[in-house]
Amino acid sequence: MIPLWWYLVVAALLFCIGLYGVMARRNAVAILMAVELMLNAVNINLIAFWRYTDPADTTGMAWAIFVLAVAAAEAAVGLALIISIYRSRDSVVAEELDTLKY
Amino acid sequence: MLLLPYREQRIEKLRRAIYRKKQPVTLFTGQRIIMTIQQIIFILISAFTLFMALVVVVDRNLFRAAIAMMASFLGVAGLYVLLEAGFLAVAQLLVYIGAISILVIFAIMMTRRLMQTHESPFNSQPIWGMIGAALTFVLLALVAIRTWPQSDFPGPAPVPASVLEGNVTQLGLMFVRPDQLVLPFELASVLLLAALIGSIVIAWPEKKS
């Protein structure tokens, strides 16, 4: 039998690996991939709590599916932005995109 | 003030009633090794998932990182199967591996000049990022282990198989019932439509005038 905290720790690890990617990668596409990893970690938590507390109530699954839908929307818009930025600035390095700073 | 202790007592009683279960089948019966086959599978799947996630984060070659991301999603789908959420596992395969990964790979190929592998994959703050991520992990793990200790949730809630088999039906009903999630469901569809139209508009090539 797997205790609940195993899932929580694995999800926390996955989340922090994604967080590291978001904070440390140069390439904007890589940052988006790391964000997807973080969303996955959250979903593991949701499903684990659903299964370990009350499986007859499917609210946890419904939340996970909403996260899935929002992740799909986020990926589509994010990648469109990256392609558009690449066309106009010839770069997808997140540190070079600083027009809004000035 | 008076209600809370009573409520907690009730919850405690319920919990004890739910988790009164028989001992798990041990791999080496008669010894004190409590590792069941399920636990071994869990450890293998999570190690695979986490290793692939690390590859995503540190690999210089973006394309290889995208493939590793697909593998990591596959591992997460495996965890869903272990949690007996088969529908979510299939949705994970379709949406993440089938759609989002392909989208990411397309983006990588359209910005291919930047796939060069001789540059550093990191920006100017890899050390600080690592420290921040490690501290966040310590915080999250502490909260998780303190708040939900093993004595409270030693295993999944024991329910008859019919509950787990019927949950897809119940989920579908939940999404269309007016007193439940029909409004968030419709909002999600509007969000997806807006995101699709918006991404087409954003990525449309600018007219040269």
What ipTM was assigned to the predicted interfaces of this complex? 0.90
Q: How far is CA A27 from the centre of its chain?
A: 16
Could you tell me which of B84, B93, B92 has the C-alpha nearest to residue B165? B84
Compute the distance between CA of residue B81 and CA of residue A54 in angstroms, rounded to an integer.
Answer: 17
CB–CB of A2 and B134 under 8 A?
no
Q: How many A-B residue pairs are in contact by the CB < 8 A criterion? A: 264
Amino acid sitting at position B37: I
For residue B201, which phi and psi values (nearest 5 degrees)? -65, -40
CB A23 within 8 A of CB B95: no
Q: Does B121 touch chain A (CB under 8 A)?
A: yes
Binary contact (A23, B65; C-beta < 8 A): no
Average pLDDT, integer, range B141-162: 79
Distance from CA of B6 to the nearest CA of A (A): 20
Q: Which of A9, A29, A47 sits opposite B107 (nearest CB)?
A: A29
How many Å lie between the alpha carbon of A63 and the closest alpha carbon of chain B?
Answer: 10
Q: How far apart are CA B82 and CA B158, in angstroms?
A: 14
Angle, in degrees to the nearest 10, between helices A4-24 and A28-53: 170
Q: Which of A9, A62, A76 sits opposite B103 (nearest CB)?
A: A76
- For chain A, give the longest Cα–Cα distance: 56
Write the pLDDT tens digit of every residue in B70-105. Answer: 999 999 999 999 988 888 999 999 989 988 999 899
Distance between CA atoms of residues B22 and B126, nearest Å: 48
CB nearest to A33's CB, from B24, B65, B128: B65
Calculate the alpha carbon distances from B82 to A69, B34, B97, B156, B187 in Å: 22, 18, 18, 10, 31
pLDDT in tens, B112-146: 665 566 677 787 788 888 899 999 999 998 988 88
